[in-house]
Structures are given as structure tokens and as C-alpha cells.
Amino acid sequence: MKHYENITNNFNFSRDLYPYIRVVSLCDEYLFEHIFFIQIAQSFPFMKKLSITNRPEQNHKQSYKLMNNNQNLSIIKCNYFIELDIDRSHDNYIMKNFYVI
């Protein structure tokens, strides 16, 4: 199995490691938190592509909280990561959660 699709915020991270998964897709109606992305990176260490489907726009309170907390967020390291598909995510959410070089 090389793909793990439609992971939601309810995904149970029980310290499982998925070394053969290369493509991961996240899909939920609720926003993904920073810790969730850390857990994804740790569980899928050889992930090459991440797709995110998350259309709801953040309300002002959530947006303000993210903007103020981004300064303290740790960097998530993904050694094999080459592609981020964010076409099905709200722009506001993406700009506050991802730093694109």
C-alpha cells in the first residue's frame, strides 16, 4: 500500500509507523491543528506528497489566534516530501499554516 487516503482529525495516532506510505490525503470539515501535522510527519516518515481538502474558512477569532501563535510553532521536518496539494483548501487557512519557499 503506497497511499493512505481521507485521514480526518479523528485519526488515531497510536505511535504507529507507516514506512511504505508515500502519498497521504487529509480531508475534514474541521481545521487541522499544527500538532496534527507533526503527527502526520512522524507517522509517515517517507511521505512524498500530501493533499489537503479543508474548505471552511476560519472565522476571525481562529485566524487571529493562528497568526499570533505561528511565531511559536515548531518546524515540521519531512525529508522526502516533494509535493503539497492545497487546491481544495481555503487560501486563508493555507497562508496561515504553511510557509512556502
Where in the sequence is the domain holding 78, given as residue range(s)? 3-97
pLDDT of residue 55: 72
Give the residues of the chain that fall short of pLDDT 70. 1, 56-72, 92-101
Amino acid of residue 46: F
Q: Could you tell me the three cell numbers for 71?
A: 511565531
The count of structural domains within the chain is 1
Q: In the chain, how long is the greatest CA-to-CA distance?
A: 40
